[in-house]
Amino acid sequence: MALIGALIGGFTNHLAIKMLFRPHEAKYIGKWRLPFTPGLIPKRRDELAVQLGKTVTNYLVTPDMFRKRLLTPEMETKAEAFVQRKIEEYVLQSDKTLNEWIKNAGATELVMKTEHKITETLDSQLQKVKVKLTSGTIAEVVPIAWQEQAKSHIPSITNYVVQKAELYVDSYEGKVMFQKLINDFLESKGTLGGMLNMFFGDSNSLVEKVQREALKFIKAPGTSDLITSIIDKEFVKLQRRPMDELVGGFDWDGLFASIHTYVKSELAIESRLDKTLYDYWPKGSEWTAANVTPKLVDFAFIQAEKQLDLSLKKLKLDEIVKEQVDTFPVAVLEDLVLGISRREFKMITVLGALLGGVIGIVQGLIVFFTTIN
Protein backbone atom coordinates (compact mmCIF):
# COMPACT_ATOMS: atom_id res chain seq x y z
CA MET A 1 0.00 0.00 0.00
CA ALA A 2 2.85 2.38 0.74
CA LEU A 3 4.35 1.76 -2.70
CA ILE A 4 1.02 2.11 -4.43
CA GLY A 5 0.22 5.30 -2.49
CA ALA A 6 3.63 6.76 -3.37
CA LEU A 7 3.13 5.95 -7.05
CA ILE A 8 -0.36 7.42 -7.04
CA GLY A 9 0.68 10.57 -5.15
CA GLY A 10 3.77 11.21 -7.31
CA PHE A 11 1.94 10.45 -10.55
CA THR A 12 -1.08 12.63 -9.73
CA ASN A 13 1.12 15.61 -8.77
CA HIS A 14 3.25 15.11 -11.87
CA LEU A 15 0.07 14.90 -13.97
CA ALA A 16 -1.34 18.03 -12.33
CA ILE A 17 1.86 19.96 -13.10
CA LYS A 18 1.84 18.76 -16.69
CA MET A 19 -1.82 19.72 -17.02
CA LEU A 20 -0.84 23.31 -16.26
CA PHE A 21 0.66 23.44 -19.77
CA ARG A 22 -0.39 20.28 -21.59
CA PRO A 23 -1.94 19.78 -23.92
CA HIS A 24 -1.14 23.01 -25.70
CA GLU A 25 -4.33 22.77 -27.75
CA ALA A 26 -7.85 21.41 -27.19
CA LYS A 27 -8.34 17.72 -28.02
CA TYR A 28 -11.56 16.50 -29.63
CA ILE A 29 -13.27 13.19 -30.17
CA GLY A 30 -15.48 14.02 -33.03
CA LYS A 31 -17.16 17.26 -31.99
CA TRP A 32 -16.77 16.51 -28.28
CA ARG A 33 -13.87 18.36 -26.58
CA LEU A 34 -12.04 16.33 -24.03
CA PRO A 35 -12.23 17.76 -20.50
CA PHE A 36 -9.19 19.62 -19.15
CA THR A 37 -7.94 20.35 -22.67
CA PRO A 38 -6.08 22.49 -23.38
CA GLY A 39 -3.99 22.92 -20.23
CA LEU A 40 -4.71 25.58 -17.62
CA ILE A 41 -2.18 28.17 -18.81
CA PRO A 42 -2.95 27.78 -22.56
CA LYS A 43 -6.65 27.94 -21.75
CA ARG A 44 -6.28 31.06 -19.61
CA ARG A 45 -3.63 32.58 -21.80
CA ASP A 46 -5.55 35.80 -22.54
CA GLU A 47 -6.33 36.34 -18.87
CA LEU A 48 -2.71 35.58 -18.00
CA ALA A 49 -1.51 38.17 -20.54
CA VAL A 50 -3.87 40.82 -19.15
CA GLN A 51 -2.82 40.07 -15.56
CA LEU A 52 0.87 40.15 -16.47
CA GLY A 53 0.35 43.52 -18.16
CA LYS A 54 -1.41 44.91 -15.09
CA THR A 55 1.26 43.48 -12.81
CA VAL A 56 4.02 45.12 -14.84
CA THR A 57 2.35 48.53 -14.91
CA ASN A 58 1.02 48.49 -11.33
CA TYR A 59 3.93 46.92 -9.46
CA LEU A 60 7.03 46.61 -11.65
CA VAL A 61 7.43 49.50 -14.12
CA THR A 62 5.89 52.36 -12.13
CA PRO A 63 6.59 56.11 -12.07
CA ASP A 64 7.92 55.82 -8.51
CA MET A 65 10.33 53.13 -9.63
CA PHE A 66 11.74 55.43 -12.34
CA ARG A 67 11.99 58.30 -9.86
CA LYS A 68 13.86 56.18 -7.33
CA ARG A 69 16.12 54.47 -9.86
CA LEU A 70 16.70 57.04 -12.59
CA LEU A 71 15.69 60.55 -11.51
CA THR A 72 18.16 60.80 -8.63
CA PRO A 73 20.92 63.34 -7.90
CA GLU A 74 23.52 60.68 -8.61
CA MET A 75 22.00 59.89 -12.00
CA GLU A 76 21.75 63.62 -12.77
CA THR A 77 25.47 64.02 -12.01
CA LYS A 78 26.33 61.07 -14.23
CA ALA A 79 24.07 62.38 -17.01
CA GLU A 80 25.69 65.82 -16.75
CA ALA A 81 29.17 64.31 -17.07
CA PHE A 82 28.06 62.16 -20.01
CA VAL A 83 26.41 65.07 -21.86
CA GLN A 84 29.41 67.35 -21.27
CA ARG A 85 31.79 64.65 -22.50
CA LYS A 86 29.79 64.14 -25.68
CA ILE A 87 29.48 67.89 -26.30
CA GLU A 88 33.24 68.26 -26.03
CA GLU A 89 33.93 65.18 -28.15
CA TYR A 90 31.55 65.90 -30.99
CA VAL A 91 31.28 69.71 -30.95
CA LEU A 92 33.60 71.88 -28.88
CA GLN A 93 36.82 69.94 -29.47
CA SER A 94 35.90 68.39 -32.80
CA ASP A 95 38.28 68.58 -35.75
CA LYS A 96 35.43 69.65 -38.00
CA THR A 97 35.72 73.16 -39.41
CA LEU A 98 32.86 75.61 -39.46
CA ASN A 99 32.56 74.97 -43.20
CA GLU A 100 32.02 71.27 -42.53
CA TRP A 101 29.41 72.00 -39.85
CA ILE A 102 27.60 74.27 -42.28
CA LYS A 103 27.65 71.63 -45.02
CA ASN A 104 26.38 69.00 -42.59
CA ALA A 105 23.52 71.35 -41.76
CA GLY A 106 22.59 71.40 -45.45
CA ALA A 107 23.68 74.95 -46.25
CA THR A 108 25.34 75.33 -49.66
CA GLU A 109 27.37 78.16 -51.22
CA LEU A 110 27.21 80.05 -47.94
CA VAL A 111 30.38 82.06 -48.59
CA MET A 112 29.24 83.21 -52.02
CA LYS A 113 25.76 84.08 -50.79
CA THR A 114 27.15 85.93 -47.78
CA GLU A 115 29.60 87.96 -49.85
CA HIS A 116 26.85 88.76 -52.36
CA LYS A 117 24.53 89.91 -49.59
CA ILE A 118 27.26 92.02 -47.99
CA THR A 119 28.05 93.61 -51.37
CA GLU A 120 24.39 94.45 -51.96
CA THR A 121 24.00 95.93 -48.48
CA LEU A 122 27.26 97.86 -48.77
CA ASP A 123 26.31 99.26 -52.20
CA SER A 124 22.93 100.32 -50.90
CA GLN A 125 24.41 102.06 -47.86
CA LEU A 126 27.17 103.74 -49.87
CA GLN A 127 24.64 105.09 -52.37
CA LYS A 128 22.59 106.47 -49.49
CA VAL A 129 25.72 108.15 -48.11
CA LYS A 130 26.50 109.59 -51.54
CA VAL A 131 22.98 110.98 -51.93
CA LYS A 132 23.11 112.39 -48.43
CA LEU A 133 26.48 114.08 -48.99
CA THR A 134 25.59 115.56 -52.37
CA SER A 135 22.10 116.84 -51.51
CA GLY A 136 21.39 120.15 -49.79
CA THR A 137 23.76 122.74 -48.40
CA ILE A 138 26.77 122.19 -46.21
CA ALA A 139 24.77 123.41 -43.21
CA GLU A 140 22.07 120.82 -43.93
CA VAL A 141 24.43 117.90 -44.49
CA VAL A 142 27.28 118.40 -42.04
CA PRO A 143 26.27 117.58 -38.43
CA ILE A 144 25.52 120.66 -36.35
CA ALA A 145 28.02 119.56 -33.71
CA TRP A 146 30.76 119.55 -36.34
CA GLN A 147 29.75 123.01 -37.56
CA GLU A 148 29.71 124.41 -34.05
CA GLN A 149 33.06 122.85 -33.31
CA ALA A 150 34.52 124.31 -36.51
CA LYS A 151 33.07 127.73 -35.70
CA SER A 152 34.56 127.58 -32.21
CA HIS A 153 38.02 127.41 -33.79
CA ILE A 154 37.63 130.80 -35.60
CA PRO A 155 39.28 132.78 -32.75
CA SER A 156 42.18 130.35 -32.76
CA ILE A 157 42.49 130.72 -36.52
CA THR A 158 42.47 134.52 -36.14
CA ASN A 159 45.24 134.41 -33.52
CA TYR A 160 47.23 132.07 -35.73
CA VAL A 161 46.85 134.37 -38.76
CA VAL A 162 47.81 137.45 -36.72
CA GLN A 163 50.85 135.76 -35.22
CA LYS A 164 52.06 134.47 -38.57
CA ALA A 165 51.44 137.87 -40.21
CA GLU A 166 53.37 139.63 -37.45
CA LEU A 167 56.30 137.26 -37.75
CA TYR A 168 56.34 137.55 -41.52
CA VAL A 169 56.12 141.37 -41.58
CA ASP A 170 58.89 141.66 -38.98
CA SER A 171 61.15 139.18 -40.81
CA TYR A 172 63.70 139.74 -43.53
CA GLU A 173 61.37 138.15 -46.07
CA GLY A 174 58.71 140.69 -45.10
CA LYS A 175 61.12 143.57 -45.50
CA VAL A 176 62.12 142.31 -48.94
CA MET A 177 58.47 141.97 -49.88
CA PHE A 178 57.65 145.53 -48.78
CA GLN A 179 60.70 146.90 -50.60
CA LYS A 180 59.68 145.15 -53.80
CA LEU A 181 56.10 146.39 -53.51
CA ILE A 182 57.22 149.99 -52.91
CA ASN A 183 59.73 149.93 -55.75
CA ASP A 184 57.18 148.46 -58.11
CA PHE A 185 54.63 151.08 -57.06
CA LEU A 186 57.02 154.01 -57.50
CA GLU A 187 58.24 152.73 -60.86
CA SER A 188 54.68 152.36 -62.03
CA LYS A 189 54.01 156.07 -61.28
CA GLY A 190 56.86 157.38 -63.40
CA THR A 191 57.88 160.98 -62.58
CA LEU A 192 55.52 161.14 -59.66
CA GLY A 193 57.11 158.05 -58.26
CA GLY A 194 60.57 159.56 -58.58
CA MET A 195 59.42 162.73 -56.80
CA LEU A 196 57.94 160.67 -53.99
CA ASN A 197 61.14 158.68 -53.69
CA MET A 198 63.14 161.94 -53.45
CA PHE A 199 60.66 163.23 -50.87
CA PHE A 200 60.89 160.20 -48.59
CA GLY A 201 64.61 159.75 -49.11
CA ASP A 202 66.25 156.34 -49.19
CA SER A 203 63.83 153.51 -50.04
CA ASN A 204 65.15 151.46 -47.15
CA SER A 205 63.96 154.03 -44.66
CA LEU A 206 60.58 154.06 -46.41
CA VAL A 207 60.41 150.30 -46.18
CA GLU A 208 61.17 150.41 -42.49
CA LYS A 209 58.47 153.01 -41.94
CA VAL A 210 55.92 150.93 -43.85
CA GLN A 211 57.04 147.83 -42.00
CA ARG A 212 56.56 149.54 -38.64
CA GLU A 213 53.12 150.80 -39.62
CA ALA A 214 52.16 147.36 -40.84
CA LEU A 215 53.19 145.86 -37.51
CA LYS A 216 51.12 148.48 -35.68
CA PHE A 217 48.15 147.63 -37.86
CA ILE A 218 48.55 143.92 -37.21
CA LYS A 219 48.90 144.41 -33.46
CA ALA A 220 45.93 146.73 -33.25
CA PRO A 221 42.89 145.21 -31.43
CA GLY A 222 40.60 146.03 -34.32
CA THR A 223 42.68 143.92 -36.70
CA SER A 224 41.83 140.67 -34.86
CA ASP A 225 38.17 141.65 -34.78
CA LEU A 226 38.28 142.45 -38.50
CA ILE A 227 39.88 139.12 -39.39
CA THR A 228 37.45 137.26 -37.11
CA SER A 229 34.51 139.04 -38.76
CA ILE A 230 35.80 138.24 -42.25
CA ILE A 231 36.37 134.56 -41.40
CA ASP A 232 32.96 134.34 -39.75
CA LYS A 233 31.24 135.78 -42.83
CA GLU A 234 33.12 133.44 -45.10
CA PHE A 235 32.16 130.54 -42.84
CA VAL A 236 28.49 131.50 -43.13
CA LYS A 237 28.84 131.70 -46.91
CA LEU A 238 30.52 128.29 -46.89
CA GLN A 239 27.60 126.84 -44.91
CA ARG A 240 25.17 128.08 -47.55
CA ARG A 241 27.04 126.54 -50.44
CA PRO A 242 25.62 123.31 -51.94
CA MET A 243 27.46 120.15 -50.95
CA ASP A 244 27.58 119.17 -54.60
CA GLU A 245 29.97 122.07 -55.27
CA LEU A 246 32.26 120.88 -52.50
CA VAL A 247 32.35 117.19 -53.53
CA GLY A 248 31.26 117.49 -57.15
CA GLY A 249 34.48 116.19 -58.64
CA PHE A 250 35.00 113.45 -56.10
CA ASP A 251 35.73 109.96 -57.46
CA TRP A 252 32.90 108.06 -55.81
CA ASP A 253 33.34 104.94 -57.95
CA GLY A 254 37.00 104.66 -56.97
CA LEU A 255 36.11 105.12 -53.30
CA PHE A 256 33.38 102.49 -53.47
CA ALA A 257 35.70 100.02 -55.20
CA SER A 258 38.36 100.59 -52.54
CA ILE A 259 35.81 100.07 -49.76
CA HIS A 260 34.58 96.85 -51.36
CA THR A 261 38.12 95.52 -51.65
CA TYR A 262 38.93 96.47 -48.08
CA VAL A 263 35.76 94.94 -46.64
CA LYS A 264 36.22 91.70 -48.57
CA SER A 265 39.85 91.35 -47.52
CA GLU A 266 39.08 92.15 -43.90
CA LEU A 267 36.13 89.77 -43.70
CA ALA A 268 37.98 86.86 -45.35
CA ILE A 269 34.91 84.68 -44.85
CA GLU A 270 36.31 81.59 -46.54
CA SER A 271 39.48 81.46 -44.44
CA ARG A 272 37.60 82.24 -41.25
CA LEU A 273 35.19 79.35 -41.82
CA ASP A 274 38.08 76.94 -42.38
CA LYS A 275 38.83 76.96 -38.66
CA THR A 276 37.36 74.81 -35.92
CA LEU A 277 35.07 75.96 -33.19
CA TYR A 278 37.90 75.40 -30.71
CA ASP A 279 40.06 77.94 -32.60
CA TYR A 280 37.52 80.66 -31.89
CA TRP A 281 36.37 79.41 -28.49
CA PRO A 282 39.18 77.55 -26.66
CA LYS A 283 37.44 77.98 -23.30
CA GLY A 284 34.12 76.69 -24.60
CA SER A 285 34.34 73.47 -22.56
CA GLU A 286 34.79 75.37 -19.31
CA TRP A 287 31.96 77.77 -20.10
CA THR A 288 29.46 75.11 -21.18
CA ALA A 289 30.37 72.92 -18.20
CA ALA A 290 29.58 75.82 -15.86
CA ASN A 291 26.67 77.49 -17.64
CA VAL A 292 24.99 75.20 -20.19
CA THR A 293 25.25 71.50 -19.36
CA PRO A 294 24.00 71.70 -15.74
CA LYS A 295 20.99 73.79 -16.75
CA LEU A 296 20.29 71.56 -19.77
CA VAL A 297 20.38 68.32 -17.74
CA ASP A 298 18.45 69.87 -14.86
CA PHE A 299 15.76 71.04 -17.29
CA ALA A 300 15.63 67.58 -18.89
CA PHE A 301 15.23 65.86 -15.50
CA ILE A 302 12.52 68.30 -14.39
CA GLN A 303 10.58 67.79 -17.62
CA ALA A 304 11.07 64.01 -17.43
CA GLU A 305 9.67 63.95 -13.91
CA LYS A 306 6.72 66.12 -14.92
CA GLN A 307 5.93 64.00 -17.96
CA LEU A 308 6.75 60.61 -16.40
CA ASP A 309 3.20 59.59 -15.45
CA LEU A 310 1.76 60.77 -18.76
CA SER A 311 4.56 59.15 -20.77
CA LEU A 312 4.10 55.76 -19.11
CA LYS A 313 0.37 55.98 -19.71
CA LYS A 314 0.96 56.80 -23.36
CA LEU A 315 3.33 53.84 -23.67
CA LYS A 316 0.50 51.52 -22.57
CA LEU A 317 2.91 48.97 -21.17
CA ASP A 318 0.08 46.67 -20.11
CA GLU A 319 -1.05 46.39 -23.73
CA ILE A 320 2.53 45.85 -24.91
CA VAL A 321 3.04 43.04 -22.38
CA LYS A 322 -0.32 41.50 -23.34
CA GLU A 323 0.54 41.62 -27.05
CA GLN A 324 3.95 40.06 -26.42
CA VAL A 325 2.53 37.30 -24.25
CA ASP A 326 -0.15 36.63 -26.84
CA THR A 327 2.54 36.15 -29.48
CA PHE A 328 4.55 33.72 -27.35
CA PRO A 329 4.11 30.06 -28.29
CA VAL A 330 2.77 28.04 -25.33
CA ALA A 331 6.00 26.04 -25.38
CA VAL A 332 7.92 29.24 -24.72
CA LEU A 333 5.71 30.08 -21.73
CA GLU A 334 6.16 26.53 -20.46
CA ASP A 335 9.94 26.76 -20.78
CA LEU A 336 9.84 30.17 -19.09
CA VAL A 337 7.91 28.90 -16.07
CA LEU A 338 9.72 25.58 -15.85
CA GLY A 339 13.07 27.26 -16.25
CA ILE A 340 12.34 29.23 -13.10
CA SER A 341 10.46 26.56 -11.07
CA ARG A 342 11.63 23.18 -12.41
CA ARG A 343 13.24 22.18 -9.08
CA GLU A 344 10.15 23.26 -7.13
CA PHE A 345 7.88 21.26 -9.43
CA LYS A 346 10.08 18.20 -8.94
CA MET A 347 9.89 18.71 -5.19
CA ILE A 348 6.08 18.89 -5.48
CA THR A 349 6.13 15.55 -7.35
CA VAL A 350 8.39 14.01 -4.70
CA LEU A 351 6.21 15.48 -1.94
CA GLY A 352 3.15 13.92 -3.58
CA ALA A 353 4.89 10.53 -3.68
CA LEU A 354 5.97 10.94 -0.05
CA LEU A 355 2.48 11.87 1.09
CA GLY A 356 1.03 9.01 -0.98
CA GLY A 357 3.47 6.58 0.66
CA VAL A 358 2.63 7.88 4.15
CA ILE A 359 -1.07 7.60 3.38
CA GLY A 360 -0.49 4.02 2.07
CA ILE A 361 1.31 3.10 5.30
CA VAL A 362 -1.54 4.56 7.38
CA GLN A 363 -4.08 2.64 5.28
CA GLY A 364 -2.06 -0.56 5.69
CA LEU A 365 -1.93 -0.10 9.46
CA ILE A 366 -5.67 0.54 9.57
CA VAL A 367 -6.37 -2.63 7.49
CA PHE A 368 -3.92 -4.63 9.60
CA PHE A 369 -5.44 -3.70 12.95
CA THR A 370 -8.97 -4.05 11.54
CA THR A 371 -8.22 -7.58 10.31
CA ILE A 372 -6.77 -8.63 13.66
CA ASN A 373 -9.91 -7.59 15.49
Rounded to an integer, the average pLDDT of 257-285 is 89
Q: Residue ranges of the domains in the chain?
A: 2-69+299-372, 97-136+251-275, 141-241
6 pLDDT above the threshold of 80: yes
Q: Which CA distances in Å does 106 have to 7, 103, 216?
A: 78, 5, 83
Structural contact between residues 118 and 331, judged by C-beta atoms closer than 8 angstroms: no
Structural contact between residues 52 and 321, judged by C-beta atoms closer than 8 angstroms: yes
**Does residue 23 have a cis peptide bond before it, meaning omega lies within 30 degrees of 0?**
yes
Residues forming a β-bridge with 137? 242
Per-residue pLDDT of 71-93, as tens digits, reads 888 988 999 999 999 999 999 98
0.85 exceeded by pTM: no
- Determine what percent of the chain is predicted with pLDDT higher than 90: 9
More confident residue, 202 or 136: 136
How many angstroms separate the CA atoms of 20 and 36, rounded? 10
Per-residue pLDDT of 46-73, as tens digits, reads 777 777 778 777 777 777 777 787 788 8
More confident residue, 45 or 74: 74
How many angstroms separate the CA atoms of 108 and 97, rounded? 15
Per-residue pLDDT of 143-168, as tens digits, reads 888 888 888 888 899 888 888 888 88
- The reported pLDDT for the residue numbered 80 is 92
- The reported pLDDT for the residue numbered 338 is 67
More confident residue, 254 or 321: 254
Rounded to an integer, the average pLDDT of 20-29 is 72
Which residue intervals of 37-97 are DSSP H helices? 40-43, 45-55, 63-69, 73-87
Q: Is 34 left (phi over 0), alpha (psi -120 to 50) or beta?
A: beta
Rounded to an integer, the average pLDDT of 278-283 is 90
Rounded to an integer, the average pLDDT of 128-154 is 85
Q: Which CA distances in Å does 260 have to 102, 127, 143, 250, 251?
A: 25, 13, 26, 17, 15
Q: Which of 93-97, 148-152, 248-252 has the lowest mean pLDDT?
A: 248-252
- The reported pLDDT for the residue numbered 291 is 92
